[in-house]
Amino acid sequence: MGRLKVVTVVGARPQFIKAAAVTPPLRRVADEILVHTGQHYDRELSAAFFEELGLPAPDVNLGVGSGTHGVQTGEMLRRLDPLLAAERPDWVLVYGDTNSTLAGALAAAKLGIPVAHVEAGLRSYNRAMPEEVNRVLVDHVATRLYCPSEAARENLRREGITDGVRVVGDVLDDALALVPDRPEVLAALGVEAGGYYLATVHRQENTDRPDRLVGILRGLRALDAPVVLPLHPRTRARLEAAGLERETAGIRVVAPQPYGATLTLVRHSRAVLTDSGGLQREAGALGIPCYVLRDETEWTELVASGRAVLVGADADRIAAAVRAGAARGQPGRGRGAALAVVRDLVGVADA
């Protein structure tokens, strides 16, 4: 049998990180075509990650760019369809829950091409989140579903999905090892190890609701140490549009950081406050307490183990939880998920 052909569809920052863990072992045993939808296009959200993580440049960039969810996803489908029809891969591999994930999975499923989904089975049970809609739809058209945990497998079982489900662990744990610590970042930002908090806010439910955005920023300003806030372009745009820039007074607002710098900032922080799924897990894996700026999370095992605590978007609740040390960091989660995905997908033991 010849080598399998896999089309991997990525498009947003967290997917470049996960693909960087899976693509190298995959390319040793299969022919991969890496397709970038163009969902993220700013250098600091896209090209910088490929370079830093050693991810091969995309073979194809569909150049879709930003838009409403329907327009963005529709454009991706339109451009993926002829490409997948021409390539006819054995698998289409997608990661996570972005619009690029949905478009990759749907375009493939409509052509009868099997879909492999990494990070299957996660649920927040909040259908107002675009990511939740994407997850549910992708899992229901996927042939192979790679779950990070038993809890994710159980979520799928409740929806009647049991075929092709594999619990492999979290590929993000493998990505942690891809970049060195960058301690010089702390000095450049004027903070000391153990003497600051790291915060990020980019979810639509927070950025597009000024009351939530203000609540979070006021909560951050009430903390007892400096707060470093790398700002996603969406959040920056919403703050400016709502005339809320003054709410960031005293917060160290910086540009989105490269991956190594982000992990360094996590590793040396007192705690992480975030609405990002990736940062919740990175804090969890590095033993740093995490306060989740949402009302629910799909990473339920982090909350169950006490590593993460839900604090929502209310200033007093955020400040009180951090003051009380409600979250407890405990290092240690397993590596090896990336290799498990490749071995299973390609069906070889020696990948």
C-beta of 36 vs 333, nearer to ligand UD1: 36
DSSP secondary structure string, 271-283?
A: EEEES-HHHHHHH
C-beta of 32 vs 97, nearer to ligand UD1: 97
- At closest approach, how far in Å is the CB of 235 from ligand UD1? 8
Q: Which helix (H) or strand (E) holds 147?
A: strand 144-147
What binding mask, one character per residue, do residues 124-163 give for ligand UD1 by CB under 6 A, x or -? ------xx--------------------------------
Instruction: Decide the pairing of beta strands 115-118 and 165-167.
Output: unpaired
258 binds ligand UD1 (CB under 6 A): no
Of 116, 143, 8, 128, the C-alpha closest to 69 is 128
How many residues line the site for ligand UD1 (CB under 6 A)? 18
C-beta of 25 vs 96, nearer to ligand UD1: 96
- Rounded distance, CA 19 to CA 12, Å? 11
C-beta of 21 vs 339, nearer to ligand UD1: 21
Biggest CA-to-CA distance, the chain: 63
Q: Which of the residues 64 through 93 are near ligand UD1 (CB under 6 A)?
A: 66
Of 333, 350, 3, 305, the C-alpha closest to 171 is 333
99 binds ligand UD1 (CB under 6 A): yes
13 and 49 Cβ atoms separated by less than 8 Å = yes
DSSP secondary structure string, 212-266?
A: HHHHHHHHHHTSSS-EEEE--HHHHHHHHHTT-GGGGTTSEEEPPPPHHHHHHHH
- At closest approach, how far in Å is the CB of 35 from ligand UD1? 15
Of 9, 12, 231, 318, the one binding ligand UD1 (CB under 6 A) is 12
287 binds ligand UD1 (CB under 6 A): no
C-beta of 39 vs 149, nearer to ligand UD1: 39
Q: Which helix (H) or strand (E) holds 17?
A: helix 13-29
Give the amino acid at 158: R
Q: Is 160 exposed, middle or buried (0-12, 13-18, 19+ CB in 10 A)?
A: exposed
DSSP secondary structure string, 75-112?
A: HHHHHHHHHHHHH--SEEEEETTSHHHHHHHHHHHHTT
C-beta of 65 vs 195, nearer to ligand UD1: 65
What are the residues whose beta carbons fall under 8 Å from the beta carbon of 153, sequence distance 6 or more?
121, 147, 165, 167
Collapse the DSSP code of 330 into the 3-class scheme (helix H, G, I; strand E, B; otherwise coil) and give the result: coil
- At closest approach, how far in Å is the CB of 142 from ligand UD1? 17
320 binds ligand UD1 (CB under 6 A): no
C-beta of 25 vs 104, nearer to ligand UD1: 104
- At closest approach, how far in Å is the CB of 23 from ligand UD1? 19
What binding mask, one character per residue, do residues 28-67 give for ligand UD1 by CB under 6 A, x or -? -----------xxxx--x--------------------x-
202 binds ligand UD1 (CB under 6 A): yes
Catalytic residues: 202
Of 164, 233, 260, 287, the one binding ligand UD1 (CB under 6 A) is 233
- Rounded distance, CA 232 to CA 225, Å? 22
- At closest approach, how far in Å is the CB of 141 from ligand UD1? 17
Of 47-55, 94-102, 192-200, 315-323, which part binds ligand UD1 (CB under 6 A)? 94-102
- Rounded distance, CA 196 to CA 272, Å? 9
Phi, psi of 130 (to 5 degrees): -55, -35
- At closest approach, how far in Å is the CB of 13 from ligand UD1? 4
- At closest approach, how far in Å is the CB of 131 from ligand UD1? 5
| Residue ranges in contact with ligand UD1 by CB under 6 A | 12-14, 39-42, 45, 66, 97-99, 130-131, 202, 233-234, 237
